[in-house]
A = this chain, B = another copy of it.
Amino acid sequence: MEKLQRNERIAALIKILSDQPNQLFTFNYFVENFNCAKSTLSEDVELLKGIVEKFELGTIETVSGAAGGVKYIPVLGKEKVKTIVSNLCNSLSDSNRILSGGFLYMTDIIYNPTVVDNIGKIFAGQFINDDIDYVVTVETKGIPISMMTARYLNVPLIIVRRDSKVTEGSSVNINYVSASSRRIQTMSLSRRAIKKNSKVLFVDDFMKGGGTARGIIELMKEFESTVEGIAVLISTKEPSKKFINEYFSLMILNDVDEQQNIIDLKPGIKLD
């Protein structure tokens, strides 16, 4: 390839890095692809660090040493996170969303790629330093946000099923008690799905009593693995005593008042 100009290298660099977030690329990879000196590439990377910071587009990290290289970390700036959470609270508080039984219609939001992309970035940002091996979710509504979280952490997604499937081979099944309904539910995961001694992040769209999260903790024990973190889009204020103690919740649902037609939904993170 002919010699490239600096702006060509920088544009290709940011595109390639951010297409595979949290993936380490060696300096040699770019030196060969761009046909440039290593010192030139280092200058490009330094320049790019400044640009990405200036526009709050994430972080460029360099790792030195033999196994070193450069990677893109998609952590959003605080201001962007505030705006996203505040917009989400607003759109989800629209009283037209109230369904009979006090449920909230939200699939249009949690399946919207732009929203899902943002949530994935926020969740990944929270757990980026925790050496997560897998993102785990239970079908169905939490799958899109889990997928994007997995993408930004650059780890595989695991989808736990409600019953065992012939297309997934032999499986581990557990029964657990739903905290809210007190009913016995089943979870099933293929024996092949998770390597022993893994650290997983459990992601879901909604948490009330935390029964599902506790079920996942139990299920992971069967795979000799541990739940390192729990991230949910919305958790309910009540019951305040949940089956699990530590979790990251982007929003807190205080109340859905069907008679007054009011949804009381607040950010789960500090916005000041």
- Which residues of A come within 8 Å of B, CB atoms? 6-8, 10-16, 18-20, 47-48, 50-52, 54-55, 57, 99-101, 103-108, 111-114, 116-117, 139-141, 143-144, 147-148, 150-151, 154-159, 161, 166-169, 190, 192-193
Q: Is the CB of A18 within 8 A of B20?
A: no
Q: Can you list 19 residue pairs at the A/B interface with Cβ under 8 Å?
A: A7-B7, A7-B11, A7-B51, A8-B50, A11-B11, A11-B48, A12-B51, A14-B15, A15-B15, A16-B57, A18-B18, A19-B117, A103-B167, A105-B190, A108-B192, A111-B156, A141-B159, A143-B143, A143-B144
With A7-B10, A12-B57, A108-B193 given, can you name 18 additional A-B contacts, CB distance below 8 Å?
Answer: A10-B11, A11-B11, A12-B54, A12-B55, A14-B15, A15-B18, A15-B57, A16-B57, A18-B18, A18-B19, A101-B166, A103-B166, A113-B151, A113-B155, A113-B157, A140-B140, A144-B147, A144-B157
| A17 CA to B116 CA, complexed, in Å | 17
Q: Give the most central of A11, A51, A57, A161: most B CB within 10 Å.
A: A11
Q: Is the CB of B114 within 8 A of A20?
A: yes
| A113 CA to B193 CA, complexed, in Å | 15
Q: Is the CB of B105 within 8 A of A169?
A: yes
Contact (A140, B161) CB under 8 Å given A10-B11, A15-B14, A113-B150: yes
Q: How far is the CB of A8 from chain B (nearest CB, A)?
A: 5
| A52 CA to B16 CA, complexed, in Å | 11
Q: Is the CB of A10 within 8 A of B12?
A: no
Q: How far is the CB of A230 from chain B (nearest CB, A)?
A: 19
Residues of B within 8 A of A166 (CB): 99, 101, 103
| A143 CA to B111 CA, complexed, in Å | 10
Q: How far is the CB of A91 from chain B (nearest CB, A)?
A: 13
| A8 CA to B44 CA, complexed, in Å | 11
Q: Is the CB of A107 within 8 A of B11?
A: no
Residues of B within 8 A of A117 (CB): 19, 151
Q: How far is the CB of A251 from chain B (nearest CB, A)?
A: 16
Contact (A169, B99) CB under 8 Å given A139-B139, A140-B139: yes
Q: Is the CB of B140 within 8 A of A159?
A: yes
Residues of B within 8 A of A55 (CB): 12, 15-16
Q: Is the CB of A168 within 8 A of B10?
A: no
| A10 CA to B4 CA, complexed, in Å | 14
Residues of B within 8 A of A54 (CB): 8, 12
| A147 CA to B147 CA, complexed, in Å | 8
| A161 CA to B19 CA, complexed, in Å | 31
